[in-house]
């Protein structure tokens, strides 16, 4: 009889001698490679200098990794600074724990520095990179699958994700399968990337509007996916911090998109 659930992998780390090879890290690296490759193709197709996206990534990626970790630690400080915890663990990035908005924020700072050094417009580079960033996020989410983390509420659906007893949150030990939120977000991001590319080409979006569209698409998906998750998180009122972040950024990105569109229309008239 065929299994009516998605099985979790038996391990997420392999060892090459003393060197641990983590699926989580491979997902991040592969996602970065894809984002750079696609961003370069889009940049050159728009008349940009070949090789620029690689130069920008040398600044954006390190900044982004630091930002992602800082956001994670800032929004879940109890994991590292509560009684009985070890603050030094906040530096152990290889054990997982990255926040996408920290990556986007500080990654943008790194990209801005690189753009100024190369005398190119930051928003044009951001537009070229936007779909690739979303694809990178889709790939990176599979690290959660291998780590058996950040899944959703219990479900009996045939696509429910089997979670080992040791990885089930307190109070959910009696449930075996959960919503595979990593898969939901991965599919949403891939579909969103395709939509962004199509809309950007169809309506010739420039001046940061493609990047704004990326934020709008991602936050719309993250909003409902975040509501499914049951991992411990800090709340503000009825929602988790990440839900409020998604709402805020969606509104800001939409406002920028509309404002930029009006400026473009005004300049053409």
The residues spanned by each domain of the chain are 15-156+170-268
- How many alpha carbons lie under 13 Å from residue 156 in its C-beta half-sphere? 1
**Residue written as token pair 């950024």:** 249
Q: Which of 68, 100, 75 is nearest to 222 (CA)?
A: 100
pLDDT of residue 167: 95
CA dist 152 and 226 (Å) reads: 8
**For every residue of 101-145, which 3-state class applies, written as one string?**
HHHHHHHHHHHHHHHHHHCCCHHHHHHHHHHHHHHHHHHHCHHHH
pLDDT of residue 1: 41
Digits of tens for pLDDT over the chain (269 positions)? 456 899 999 899 999 988 888 998 999 999 999 999 999 999 999 999 999 999 999 999 999 999 999 999 998 888 899 888 999 999 888 777 889 999 999 999 999 999 999 999 999 999 999 999 999 999 999 999 999 999 999 999 999 999 999 999 999 999 999 999 999 999 999 999 999 999 999 999 999 999 999 999 999 999 999 999 999 888 999 999 999 999 999 999 999 999 998 887 666 65
pLDDT of residue 268: 60
Put simply, whether the predicted model's pTM sits higher than 0.85 gets the answer yes
- How many alpha carbons lie under 13 Å from residue 207 in its C-beta half-sphere? 13
- How many alpha carbons lie under 13 Å from residue 10 in its C-beta half-sphere? 1
The per-residue b/e assignment along 124-158, b for 16 or more CB within 10 angstroms, e otherwise, is: bbbbbbbbbbbbbbbbbbbbbbbbbbbbbebbeee
């Amino acid at each position: 009889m065929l299994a009516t659930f998605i099985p979790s992998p038996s391990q997420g780390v392999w060892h090459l001698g003393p060197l641990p090879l983590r699926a989580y890290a491979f997902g991040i690296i592969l996602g970065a490679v894809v984002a750079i490759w696609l961003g370069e193709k889009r940049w050159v197709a728009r008349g940009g200098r070949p090789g620029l996206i690689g130069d920008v990534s040398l600044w954006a990626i390190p900044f982004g990794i630091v930002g992602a970790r800082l956001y994670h630690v800032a929004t879940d400080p109890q994991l590292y600074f509560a009684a009985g915890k070890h603050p030094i663990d906040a530096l152990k990035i290889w054990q997982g724990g990255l926040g996408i908005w920290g990556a986007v924020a500080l990654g943008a700072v790194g990209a801005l520095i690189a753009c100024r050094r190369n005398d190119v417009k930051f928003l044009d580079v951001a537009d070229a990179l936007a779909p690739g960033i979303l694809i990178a996020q889709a790939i990176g989410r599979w690290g959660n699958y291998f780590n058996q983390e950040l899944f959703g509420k219990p479900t009996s659906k045939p696509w429910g994700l089997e979670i080992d007893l040791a990885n089930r949150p307190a109070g959910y030990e009696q449930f075996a399968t959960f919503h595979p939120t990593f898969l939901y977000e991965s599919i949403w991001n891939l579909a969103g990337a395709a939509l962004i590319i199509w809309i950007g080409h169809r309506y010739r979006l420039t001046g940061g509007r493609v990047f704004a569209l990326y934020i709008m698409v991602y936050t719309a998906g993250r909003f409902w996916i975040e509501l499914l998750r049951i991992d411990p998180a800090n709340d503000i009122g009825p929602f988790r911090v990440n839900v409020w972040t998604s709402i805020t950024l969606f509104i800001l990105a939409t406002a920028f998109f509309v404002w930029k569109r009006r400026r473009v229309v005004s300049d053409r008239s």
